[in-house]
Structure 1
């Protein structure tokens, strides 16, 4: 019987040499990557175990995920990741795991399309935190207004194209806001204010709203403040200047790992004419109290806490213009649900000169995420002189 099995092919000399070279390069890469990661561990720049470590976090892989995320920030892994991201985008129009491409020119944050584990319980926990803080503020004579910024993928849904927003997310902001209102907490979902503008309410390659969206949101909040019977002070008049159109770098391009590419190779940037707000100089009337003009009475009695939405597209300026008064801005980039609140409640400005009204801006995508950063509200004695005004 003849042997009919196929004969193994003999690799060429070029294949043998190139395979050895590839092996050496791969081993060198692994060694360099390991050394950079080891340095991060030795230097203490990576926190192995969180101080509030829980059994649930260990069993669900949150600990290893956090460590891996910190190690990936080493120079070698980061450089290789950037290279991979650039090649994937140029060759396959792939934007990675953190960003999703919708219709032509439109990018969306993956977090907006994700169904969170224990979503309902997480949302309930955060609603309970808000109710508790509202009660604590009320004891000091401070009103609270919660405003929820709807997802870009909800308002600009016409630009999703092949992307799909899970049906489970349809009413999450509506239900959360309605629950707060039923519990006596003033809360508003800004979706109704942004929906008439549709996709124009958001920037194409950025997470945040456009100036059209920011202005509409500011008007809706001002109407709610007026309905609460609050008159923001000190009263100011603002001059508005529209700047020359300029390219607006989108944060989703950075999150996709494409911001290092030449501008022509990145997703098409958007041109924006930014609006600048400036206070008109106040005239001192006869008999005016100079101590009040330059003292404590001239401090804003409305404070704003929140996320980068409050710091983008001139939102603060639009809100101050809508209220006709200056506002104390204590929002924080990357603050999510707890960051801005924690920063403000531990700020001497809150303890020494509490406001009449606190506006708390929260993105919809943060409503159902785990309540990982506990808000530390340390009650102090009420400022009687300020609360009486």
Structure 2
């Protein structure tokens, strides 16, 4: 007996229904977008491609504009991003999701594990640092360089269980930088070795972490340790004599939403996340119990990036690296912080503010490890500002 085709009718109908639903969804998205744009009177974004030359740059911009303007994408993107972050542990372009709630800045990690091209002489950090050291030395000012380790260099074991507990990983470009600075006789504080010693100390495995879980920056414990090491080196070199200003520590805990978490730009993820409790320690003067403040005529100038800004200009204030270094040296300092980067931008700002070098004997220059190859504006040569009493016309010209 020949089987009839009737039993196959139901599966075929289901297939047709699925195809029809799929086609309807495909057409519904642009039709919905068109209806919204007509209602708003903003014009039809889809036809903008015909209003400009079909260059690769214009086509990429057109594609990005369509994505940003899509009402469907804006409605669904937060949900997909939340699912991707929560269930797939994928933080997108900016974040890496580690173990136990630890988050890492992905570009910094990528730079650490990727073999990059050799830097050009005009973008070489050592060339720029040596030139800055020599220019300061010509004015009788000493330079101490302080590279701040990336979080992923000190806590790679929080990224993967395949990394042994407490192991520190230093990238080849960082090792090369430290070796070349030593060869050029540039005084440099090796916080990598200091932090590695803490992590490798079996008795200290349960101590407060040196970096925040949700943030790319160091914790109050990391700030305090770095300030102690830098102060010790300055006094060992005989560049700074301990002052007579007494400072005390005052507990100032804050709840902080980490910068890596905020980089996701997802209010859905932020609402589902608990701010990190950060046990900050504010520095106050012994005499009036007021929070630490910089002093413009100090003999020490501290340059740096967001590693100096955190806790100092952010909440709770007077609890960052500069304040803790001042406590260790028993004297107020002068500081210049550029959140955009300490490779070139902070020196450009110094060039525009000659008064900052008045009365200075020492410059402490902090920059984060990832800026060795990812620094904003690279490592450009930047002249010092003119000496006090000299006109800008007599100074070397520089166009930042």
TM-score range, shorter chain: 0.7 to 0.9
Confirm or deny: 8 A CA contact 1:233 1:326 kept in the other structure: no
Q: Structure 2 unaligned runs (5+)?
A: 1-7, 200-207, 289-294, 312-319, 390-400
Confirm or deny: 8 A CA contact 1:150 1:173 kept in the other structure: no
Flag the 1:79–1:189 CA change in 2: closer, same or farther, 3 A: farther
CA distance in 2, matches of 1:65, 1:304: 45
Q: Using CA pairs below 8 Å that are at least 6 residues apart, which structure has the higher relative contact order?
A: 1
Please say if 1:204 is aligned against 2:213: yes
CA distance in 2, matches of 1:304, 1:141: 16
Name the counterpart of 1:236.
245
Flag the 1:68–1:159 CA change in 2: closer, same or farther, 3 A: farther
Q: TM-score, normalised by structure 1?
A: 0.72
- Compute the displacement of 1:96 (Å): 1.4
- Compute the displacement of 1:232 (Å): 5.6
User: Helix, strand or coil for the counterpart of 2:328?
Assistant: helix
Name the counterpart of 1:89.
85
User: Helix, strand or coil for the counterpart of 2:144?
Assistant: strand
Name the counterpart of 1:288.
none
Name the counterpart of 2:152.
153
Confirm or deny: 8 A CA contact 2:79 2:268 kept in the other structure: no
Mapping 1:121-160, distance limit 5 Å: 121=119, 125-160=124-159
Confirm or deny: 8 A CA contact 1:85 1:257 kept in the other structure: no
Name the counterpart of 1:47.
none
- Compute the displacement of 1:208 (Å): 0.6
Flag the 1:349–1:24 CA change in 2: closer, same or farther, 3 A: farther
Confirm or deny: 8 A CA contact 2:217 2:307 kept in the other structure: yes
Q: TM-score, normalised by structure 2?
A: 0.71
Which one has the largest radius of gyration? 2
- Compute the displacement of 1:157 (Å): 2.4
- Compute the displacement of 1:236 (Å): 2.1
User: Helix, strand or coil for the counterpart of 2:189?
Assistant: strand
Correspondent of 2:27 among 23, 28, 39? 23
User: Helix, strand or coil for the counterpart of 1:180?
Assistant: helix
Q: How many residues align?
A: 342
Name the counterpart of 2:261.
253
CA distance in 1, matches of 2:286, 2:65: 50
CA distance in 2, matches of 1:207, 1:312: 11
- Compute the displacement of 1:35 (Å): 6.8
Please say if 1:324 is aligned against 2:341: no
- Compute the displacement of 1:214 (Å): 0.8
Name the counterpart of 1:110.
106
Confirm or deny: 8 A CA contact 1:232 1:302 kept in the other structure: no
User: Helix, strand or coil for the counterpart of 2:100?
Assistant: coil
Deviations 1:9-46 (A, max 9, x none): 4555686367335423245549969978999xx9xxxx
Name the counterpart of 1:349.
355
Confirm or deny: 8 A CA contact 2:99 2:160 kept in the other structure: yes
